[in-house]
Every structure is written in structure tokens, then in C-alpha cells.
């Protein structure tokens, strides 16, 4: 017979050119180790043979046989036998399963922390110190600062807070009573002045409003309800129904209050506003 058209030839594959993906090879070895290959073969054979067997059946089907009644008597012992086979599937050796992977050291650092380069928002009162120990001047408007001191390979933290030195002058309304004057250094925020028993004002820290708008540090005071009148000094920030409730004063400024039923005169003068070291790490 004469051939029409070009002759088609099947490509010849060499033994080393055909590679099986690792997934199929692992799947094949797992089935073989668990002795499931015969069962898979039977399932494939049943899938192929079922349509063929159904197609070979007769077109005319006879009546289905009636079930036979079970009569008394025992079933022969030959039909009651049951064979039990011990299964020992086992597991595939892990070296074969992981042969295509390369081991890594779990204790080796593989990631590095990002370098921020000062892009995050820093506190308004941050103070930095160079390796030689010379600290830059802090910005105003906050309550605490932190200084990092680096010496060789060691680092330490120094904590600061804003405080004031005040002069307090007490003048009783009774002309026969003596005046009292005292200087209070290193007064921190939330401190009652002159004291807890006769709290005329409470030092609240630095005024953020003055630091942001005027760029001038001012001490902020909360005025007691026992104050009947503010004679002079200070700048009122919040006024109540009868008297100023929140007042500020800059360095060197004095505020005079009348306090209590006897209207004792108190003069509180801010001598200095400074950063005070509160501790180290």
C-alpha cells in the first residue's frame, strides 16, 4: 500500500531525559510502602471493566428471582471462615521524602531589623547625647525627656522631667502675725503649694499652649476652690463662675492670691523652670 503524506516518526527518548515530578514520585512510593498499589490497580480495572460488562448484558431481562426463605439449620462451617491478615504499612524513610530539599539552620538569624533613620515621630521633649557625653538642648512643651549615653559598647538611659523652683510668701490678715517666706526647689508636677494642708495652687507642669504659640516655657497652676481672689500676676487660661481656675506664669513672675475665710495673702513666684534628673536605667 502506498503511503500518502510525510512519514511520522515517534521521538526516541533516552533513559535519562524523562524526569518525573517529585510529587508523583513521592505519591508512588507512599502507595508502595503502604501496600496500596494492588488496591489502586483493582479500582482502575473495575472502573474500566464496568461499562464493558454492562454493555454485554442481554436486552431482555428475566424476572428477578424470589429470595429464598431462610430455614432452620446452621450454615456450613466452610462458609463461616474468616481470614484476618495483619497489616504493617510502615512509614517511608524521611531521607527519601526530603531528598530534594536542602537543610537550613533554624537558629541562624535570617531577618534584620529595619533602619528607621529617625523617620518616626519623636517626643517633643527628646534629648539626645553623643558618644562623648555632650547632650543637645531639649525642646519645650513636654513633661519628660530621655537621654541616651553611649560609652564604648554600653548604653544607659537618663530620665528627666520639667520642674520649677518657687518662692512662697505668706502674709496673714492679722497684723500681729508674722510673715512666712520659704523657697521650694525641685518642685515636680502634681505638687500642692504651699502644702497639702493649705493647697492654694497645684503645679501641673509646663503650659503646652505657651510652648506651642509663644515658644516660651510657662509654669501651669490649678487654682484651689478656697482661693477668693487673685490680686495680681499670671495669665488666666480657664475661668470659672467666680474666679480663674487655670493660670500660668513665666520664669521670674509672681502671682498673689487671697486664700481661705481669713483671706490670707500668698505670693508664689516662679524662680526657675528647669529639667530635673529623675533617674537612670
Q: Which of 33, 50, 67 is the last residue of a domain?
A: 50
| DSSP letter for each residue of 130-194 | -TTS-BPPPPSS-SEEEEEEEETTEEEEEEEEEEEEEEEEEE-SSTTSPPEEEEEEEEPTTEEEE
Most confident of 72-81, 83-92, 95-104, 269-278: 269-278
Cβ burial of 134 (10 Å; 0-12, 13-18, 19+) is: exposed
Mean pLDDT confidence for 207-231: 89
pLDDT tens digits along 164-179? 999 999 998 888 888 9
Q: Answer whether residue 16 shows pLDDT above 70.
A: no
pLDDT tens digits along 128-175? 444 444 444 444 444 555 555 555 667 789 998 999 999 999 998 888
Give the number of C-alpha atoms closer than 13 A to the C-alpha of residue 270, restricted to the C-beta side: 25
Domain membership of residue 172 (yes or no) is yes
Q: Answer whether residue 230 shows pLDDT above 60.
A: yes
Q: Answer whether residue 205 shows pLDDT above 80.
A: yes
Say what the pLDDT of residue 36 is: 83
Percent residues over pLDDT 90 in the chain: 31
Domain membership of residue 110 (yes or no) is no
Please give the Cα distance from 156 to 281 (Å, whole number).
Answer: 6
- Asked which of 4-8, 29-33, 198-202, 273-277 is least confident by mean pLDDT, the reply is 4-8
Domain membership of residue 121 (yes or no) is no
Please give the Cα distance from 123 to 208 (Å, whole number).
Answer: 13
Q: Which of 50, 67, 93 is the last residue of a domain?
A: 50
Q: Which stretch of DSSP H or E encloses residue 204?
A: strand 199-206
Domain membership of residue 62 (yes or no) is no
Cβ burial of 250 (10 Å; 0-12, 13-18, 19+) is: middle
Please give the Cα distance from 165 to 272 (Å, whole number).
Answer: 5
Please give the Cα distance from 153 to 131 (Å, whole number).
Answer: 10
Domain membership of residue 128 (yes or no) is no
Please give the Cα distance from 188 to 203 (Å, whole number).
Answer: 7
Domain membership of residue 268 (yes or no) is yes
* Predicted confidence band of residue 32 (pLDDT cuts 50, 70, 90): confident
- If you average pLDDT over every residue of the chain, what do you get? 77
Domain that residue 202 falls in: 163-276
Nearest CA among 194, 212, 188, 206 for reference residue 249? 206
Alpha helices in the chain (DSSP H): 22-33, 37-55, 94-97, 208-213
- Asked which of 43-52, 90-99, 220-229 is least confident by mean pLDDT, the reply is 90-99
Q: Does the predicted model carry a pTM greater than 0.75?
A: no
Count of Cβ atoms closer than 10 Å to residue 98 Cβ: 11
Percent residues over pLDDT 70 in the chain: 66
Contact 219, 207 (CB under 8 A): yes
Domain membership of residue 249 (yes or no) is yes
| Structural domain total, the chain | 2
Count of Cβ atoms closer than 10 Å to residue 97 Cβ: 14
37-55 vs 22-33: helix crossing angle, rounded to 10: 90
Domain membership of residue 227 (yes or no) is yes
Amino acid at each position: 500500500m502506498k503511503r500518502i503524506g510525510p512519514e511520522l516518526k515517534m521521538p526516541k527518548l533516552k533513559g535519562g531525559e524523562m524526569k518525573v515530578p517529585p510529587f508523583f514520585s513521592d505519591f508512588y512510593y507512599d502507595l508502595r510502602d503502604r501496600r496500596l498499589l494492588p488496591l489502586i490497580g483493582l479500582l482502575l480495572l473495575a472502573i474500566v471493566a464496568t461499562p464493558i460488562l454492562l454493555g454485554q448484558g442481554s436486552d431482555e431481562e428475566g424476572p428477578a428471582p424470589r429470595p429464598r426463605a431462610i430455614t432452620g439449620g446452621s450454615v456450613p462451617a466452610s462458609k463461616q471462615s474468616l481470614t484476618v491478615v495483619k497489616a504493617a504499612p510502615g512509614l517511608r524513610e524521611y531521607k527519601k521524602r526530603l531528598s530534594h530539599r536542602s537543610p537550613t539552620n533554624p537558629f541562624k538569624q535570617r531577618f534584620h531589623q529595619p533602619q528607621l533613620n529617625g523617620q518616626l515621630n519623636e517626643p517633643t521633649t527628646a534629648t539626645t547625647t553623643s558618644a562623648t557625653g555632650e547632650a543637645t538642648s531639649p525642646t519645650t512643651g513636654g513633661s519628660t525627656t530621655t537621654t541616651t549615653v553611649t560609652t564604648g559598647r554600653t548604653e544607659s538611659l537618663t530620665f528627666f522631667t520639667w520642674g520649677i523652683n518657687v518662692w512662697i510668701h505668706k502674709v496673714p490678715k492679722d497684723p500681729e502675725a508674722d510673715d512666712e517666706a520659704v523657697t521650694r526647689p525641685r518642685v515636680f508636677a502634681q505638687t500642692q503649694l504651699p502644702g497639702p494642708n493649705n493647697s492654694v495652687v497645684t503645679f501641673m507642669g509646663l503650659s503646652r499652649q505657651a510652648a506651642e504659640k509663644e515658644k516660651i516655657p510657662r509654669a501651669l497652676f490649678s487654682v484651689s476652690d478656697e482661693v477668693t481672689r487673685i490680686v495680681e500676676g499670671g495669665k488666666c487660661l480657664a475661668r470659672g463662675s467666680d474666679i480663674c481656675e487655670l493660670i500660668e506664669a513665666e520664669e521670674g513672675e509672681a502671682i498673689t492670691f487671697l486664700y481661705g475665710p481669713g483671706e490670707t495673702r500668698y505670693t508664689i513666684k516662679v524662680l526657675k523652670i528647669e529639667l530635673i534628673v529623675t533617674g537612670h536605667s
